[in-house]
A = this chain, B = another copy of it.
Amino acid sequence: MKLIKVKTMLLTLLAMIMSLELQAQEHPKLIMTKAGVEKIRANLGQVPLFDASVAAAKAQVDIEIANGIDTPIPKDYSGGYTHEQHKRNFFTAQKAGALYQILDDEKYAIYVRDMLFQYEAMYADLPRHPKTRSYARGKLFWQCLNDSNWLLYMAQAYDAIYEFLSEQERQTLNQNLFRPFADFISLENPQFYNRIHNHSTWGNAAVGMIGLVMDDQELIDRALYGIVDDGLEVGLKDDDGGFIKVEGQKAGFLANLEEPFSPDGYYTEGPYYQRYAMYPFLVFALAMENAKPQFKVFQHKNNVLLKAVNALLNLSDADGNFFPLNDAQKGMSYFSPSLVTAVDIAYHYGDKDPQLLSVAQKQNAVLLDQSGLSVAMAIRGGKTLPFVKKSINLRDGANGQQGGVGVLRIGEEDLTLVYKYAAQGLSHGHYDKLSFSLFDKGDEILQDYGLVRFVNIEQKGGGNYLKENKTWAKQTIAHNTLTQNQTSHFNGQYEVGSKHHSELYLFDASRDDIKIVSAKESNAYPGTEMHRTMAILALNNFAKPLVLDLMRVTSATENDYDLPYYFMGQVLKTNFDYDRPSTLVPMGEDNGYQHLYLEGIGKPSSLSTQFDWLVKGKFYTLTTASLMTDDIVFTRLGANDPLFNLRSDAGLMLRRNATDNTTFVSVIEPHGSYSPVTELSLDPNSNVAEVRLLIDSDAYTAVSIKDKQNQVSLLLVANQNASKEASHKLKIGKRTVRWQGPYHLVTQ
């Protein structure tokens, strides 16, 4: 090779690097890019959904500009004035920055600049926030978490007006506000910053974002890799009981991306926190993609971030509400602004899945950047396809080897069964191994309670977690799963629970007539194994699909078992008699039982106990194979709740005492409908005549469901061999049934 050629090559490379560096110096460069802004401006007024989103942001920001800038001295918990005002400020500033870029109107830049300088003026002397409840108090807010929110949004606002500011102004802001702010939430709060936790993700991303704006490599490294020497003790815990420091644990953004996300994109804390964590994950990943594409953050761990968006969307009911697994406030949905971000980014930077467009259409808003424009243009172009949610099995754990969540769906989300056999879920986890919840379209039929907290409602304990979250919501008895001897799984010990997870036995959603999931749990109660198999069955002799619930318990010792079903709606009828005490007394002293009143108690009148109830105009019947010694208990939540923090919800509890091995078999049968307008009651009665446990050995379980016309369906499960290839043979009465694979459905 000639030297001249080498020289040319080197020069070319140098030019490329310089151009990249130059590009890296350009602003905006985080969420928006120069090229993106040009395209947006060129299309303004021609893309309805994008224009509507701009108009909505403009309306909000213009009101705030008219109101004037207010940066009060921090004082309140969430829900209180100063908290909400500072929160409003960062949301508004971020939007104002985007509007400055899009509309090229200096008033938005001036607004952001003035706000930043107001913060700059107050920040140097600002002490820690006066409220002391957090393990990591912030300055503007009561916890560093919210300070990190502030920085993550403000970095975007700053980025948007960066070129509008003078070099002098930038230096002032960098030195007096942003660098100290970033150092405070990281170096001064390693217990917050250097964890594997959604808190740290916010902190990492915030530090990284401002690092990118300032082009401060030290901050970028600290964001990606954490604080090298954090001085934290192994075993340290936060005020929720979550671990702060675990032996050998890495830290920083990339570690937080590694650990809590499974290869399927399931986030171990559950969808409510995933939704919260997605925003910093995606936004910083996007900023890295724009500013430092060579780090390939989006591609990290085999595209896990984009997979996570898909996983999250699939962890919602037909109305888009996320399943309230672990600590989760009900009503959070894919209409959340952070999901607008997620959907738009996943569309534009992913493989342009046209099904995402229908979610964006429902959201009726797009991100004010090139990804939002891209989504809005695709919708305008008629590319939208319906977002079809299918059954899905999502593995939990960094390597996908710590249990998971199985979601069975049938029809157009006519029934959605959410089955949890996951790991503990960090500090927001519940003691709810093998629990489930059931949805009919967007309606909860058998509910997961969610959390005990009124997020940002100051009247309720400052908007923070309430003590009933620990005493009720996390406890096993608060869930549709088995409680043994009135104690919670792992005795409610977080350290123990965190070491274990359930094991998937079987997931198969490939057939139209049966969708099935099965898992085993052997650590929640040492000496006891639970093996729960749940299936949705679409049988020809039933108008709607059924849910079969098979909870097999094997124990070396005799125990008391409680298996509750927290039904929504109104009790209609039972086929057993029960007494309702006129005085209500709590059912226990602890483990959640202290919050339950016994509202009624009865004994089975037959081997198939039935309970009918009505939820939002639809009928449901639970038919369970009873022992005549079982108690059937109606429960009502609300005891020992001094400040009305709990909802007054109902439950039906199957109670089987002093038993070692036993199996609970139940069928949940949706049928018919009722309208208070026409007052017509269609198909109000169960069609299940009998549910029986025909065989229950270590090797096999066989269940029969007989309808009112005496038509019988059988489900046979091999309990010890989930191989698809294995051949089985089972004698049921006089009949021998042969099949291949772990389960077999026999219909007449």
Interface, chain A (partner B; CB < 8 A): 79, 84, 87, 329-333, 335-337, 454-460, 463, 570-573, 580, 582-586, 597, 599-600, 612, 614, 634, 636, 638-644, 647-648, 650, 674-682, 684-685
* Distance from A595 Cβ to chain B, minimum over Cβ atoms (Å): 10
Task: Name the residue in A456, A675, A685 with the highest tally of chain B Cβ atoms < 10 Å from its Cβ.
Answer: A456
27 chain-A/chain-B pairs, Cβ below 8 angstroms: A84-B680, A84-B682, A87-B680, A330-B676, A332-B676, A332-B679, A336-B677, A454-B614, A455-B679, A457-B572, A457-B614, A457-B681, A458-B685, A459-B573, A459-B684, A460-B572, A460-B573, A570-B647, A571-B643, A571-B644, A580-B640, A580-B641, A580-B642, A582-B586, A584-B597, A599-B638, A636-B648
* Distance from A447 Cβ to chain B, minimum over Cβ atoms (Å): 15
* Distance from A60 Cβ to chain B, minimum over Cβ atoms (Å): 12
Taking a contact as CB atoms under 8 Å apart, the answer to whether B676 and A331 are in contact is yes
For A79, give its contact among B84, B336, B586, B681 (CB under 8 Å): B681
What secondary structure prevails in chain A residues at the interface with B?
Answer: loop
Taking a contact as CB atoms under 8 Å apart, the answer to whether A333 and B612 are in contact is no
**Bound-complex Cα distance A570 to B643 (A):** 11
Taking a contact as CB atoms under 8 Å apart, the answer to whether A457 and B678 are in contact is no
Taking a contact as CB atoms under 8 Å apart, the answer to whether A463 and B681 are in contact is yes
Q: Please name all residues of chain B whose beta carbon is closer than 8 Å to the beta carbon of A330 when the two chains form the complex.
A: 676
**Bound-complex Cα distance A640 to B459 (A):** 34
For A677, give its contact among B331, B584, B643 (CB under 8 Å): B331
**Bound-complex Cα distance A536 to B457 (A):** 27
* Distance from A578 Cβ to chain B, minimum over Cβ atoms (Å): 8
For A337, give the chain B residue with the smallest CB separation. Answer: B678
**Bound-complex Cα distance A677 to B597 (A):** 32
Q: Please name all residues of chain B whose beta carbon is closer than 8 Å to the beta carbon of A648 when the two chains form the complex.
A: 636, 648, 650
* Distance from A641 Cβ to chain B, minimum over Cβ atoms (Å): 7
**Bound-complex Cα distance A685 to B684 (A):** 45
Q: Please name all residues of chain B whose beta carbon is closer than 8 Å to the beta carbon of A650 when the two chains form the complex.
A: 648
Nearest first, the 8 A-B pairs at minimum CB distance are A331-B676, A571-B644, A459-B573, A584-B584, A459-B572, A456-B681, A79-B681, A455-B679
For A640, give the chain B residue with the smallest CB separation. Answer: B582
Taking a contact as CB atoms under 8 Å apart, the answer to whether A679 and B456 are in contact is yes
Q: Knowing that A460-B572, A460-B573 touch, tell me 15 more A-B residue pairs with CB under 8 angstroms.
A: A84-B680, A332-B679, A335-B677, A336-B677, A337-B678, A454-B614, A458-B685, A459-B572, A463-B681, A583-B583, A599-B638, A636-B638, A636-B648, A648-B648, A648-B650
With contacts A640-B582, A644-B570 taken as known, whether A684 is within 8 angstroms of B329 at the C-beta atoms is: no
Q: Please name all residues of chain B whose beta carbon is closer than 8 Å to the beta carbon of A570 when the two chains form the complex.
A: 454, 644, 647
* Distance from A698 Cβ to chain B, minimum over Cβ atoms (Å): 40
With contacts A337-B678, A570-B647, A585-B583 taken as known, whether A684 is within 8 angstroms of B331 at the C-beta atoms is: no
For A461, give the chain B residue with the smallest CB separation. Answer: B573
For A650, give the chain B residue with the smallest CB separation. Answer: B648
Q: Please name all residues of chain B whose beta carbon is closer than 8 Å to the beta carbon of A460 when the two chains form the complex.
A: 572-573
**Bound-complex Cα distance A679 to B333 (A):** 11
**Bound-complex Cα distance A454 to B583 (A):** 26
**Bound-complex Cα distance A583 to B681 (A):** 38
Taking a contact as CB atoms under 8 Å apart, the answer to whether B681 and A84 are in contact is yes
For A580, give the chain B residue with the smallest CB separation. Answer: B642
**Bound-complex Cα distance A463 to B612 (A):** 15
